[in-house]
Amino acid sequence: MYKIFASIFATILISALLVPVVRQLAFRVGAVDKPNARRVNKKTMPTMGGLAIFIAFNFTNFVLLHGQYPMRMMIALFIAQCIVLITGIIDDIYELKPFQKLIGLTTAALVVYYVAHVRMTTLTIPFAGTVKLGLLSLPITLVWILAITNAINLIDGLDGLATGIAIIALTTSALTGYFFLNVTNTFISLMIATLVAALIGFLPYNFHPATIYLGDTGSLFIGFMISVFALFGLKNATFISIIIPVIILGVPITDTVFAIIRRALNKKPIMKPDKHHLHHRLMQMGLSHRQTVLVIYGIALIFSFISLLYPISNIFGSLLLTIATLLGLEIFVELIGLVGGNHQPLLNLIKRIVLKSSEHKNGKE
């Protein structure tokens, strides 16, 4: 146990020491983020910060914690990580087109599926029983990996935002996986702890005012690893095992889903970026950069707390919890205008009900 704690602490130090080196490298190779209409930075910033996280994470797993993991699976995951990392580095330097990034991420996902053998195989549906996915296993696994990876990538819009959310989500995932979901591969919790340590070492450089960004190198890598870690608890998926990681990742998933809805309603290309994401809306409402990040951290913590209620609830309690979460989320989304100021169906319905109730009460009087 001492070796594990010492290795986790060493991961934080290694990550922190690597960041200045990666920062200089980013400037040298041209992995920089220049100010433009969509960016919040006012000066040219180095990206590619995820490289420090990747090195610290894998150094600890392959050297400091050697023997703690099944080596064949680790090598397969490392190959997949390298594909994602290279995709991110190339994008940070040359800016890839969306379909080009998709090719890289899909290739990495296929390595996870066919070489690491990490995949969804069955799905247990409440009141219906267990269904073998069969040929659907591959597309469902790929969609899961690509969706979660891109969700983390999209939320990376402010200093420390994606890094902090990932720390919260991964920590919650480790706790639920180890204590509640009966994930037989307990080494997954150790791998998650190692990644959290690498992120903690990076966060001081990335928090506002940041001196380096994650870049696609980091956001794609982190999102990819989060999606893969979740798959270990989803091999034999149930309603609970699926809903927990979705709730844990409530912030990036919400932002992604409503970005798609917003662009569809406004008849704009789904892949076209805009300045109406969650963090943009909060800043447009008057919050400062730092306040916006801290508020979203708070929202992420609320989602994490909700996720911890599922393992101790029965199926009916879980369904009610899900409905309540969705209703609360919709009200919040409409209040801040995440889809658009005029799109408030639930709030308008509540107003009509309250108005009719008031008119009925006044009529009786």
Peptide bond into 209 cis (omega under 30): yes
Indicate the SS3 state at residue 116.
coil
274 marked as part of a ligand binding site: no
Region of residue 232 (phi > 0: left; psi between -120 and 50: alpha; otherwise: beta): alpha
Region of residue 286 (phi > 0: left; psi between -120 and 50: alpha; otherwise: beta): left
Q: What is the pLDDT of residues 277-296, one digit of tens each?
A: 899 899 989 999 999 999 99
Distances (CA, A) of 155 to 4, 152, 343: 31, 5, 22
| CB contact set of 221 (below 8 Å; sequence gap of 6+) | 50, 53, 54, 81, 84, 85, 88
How far apart are the C-alpha atoms of 265 and 283, rounded to whole Å? 23
Q: What is the pLDDT of residues 221-271, one digit of tens each?
A: 999 999 999 888 776 667 777 888 899 999 999 999 888 888 888 788 777
Mean pLDDT in residue range 8-24: 97
Indicate the SS3 state at residue 238.
strand
Sheet of 129-132: strands edge to edge?
Answer: 129-132, 122-125, 236-238
Chain mean pLDDT for the chain:
89
Q: What is the pLDDT of residues 28-60, one digit of tens each?
A: 999 998 876 556 667 889 999 999 999 999 999
How far apart are the C-alpha atoms of 140 and 246, rounded to whole Å? 15
- Tokens representing 63 are 């050297």
153 marked as part of a ligand binding site: yes
- Cα 209 to chain centroid distance, Å, stands at 22
Q: What is the pLDDT of residues 336-360, one digit of tens each?
A: 888 876 778 888 888 888 888 776 6
* Closest by Cα among 128, 151, 132 to 140: 132
Q: Can you give the pTM of this predicted structure?
A: 0.91
The percentage of residues in the chain with a pLDDT greater than 90, rounded to a whole number, is 58
Q: How confident is the model at residue 145 (pLDDT cuts 50, 70, 90)?
A: very high
- Cα 121 to chain centroid distance, Å, stands at 23
Query: Domain locations in the chain?
Result: 2-312
Mean pLDDT in residue range 64-80: 92
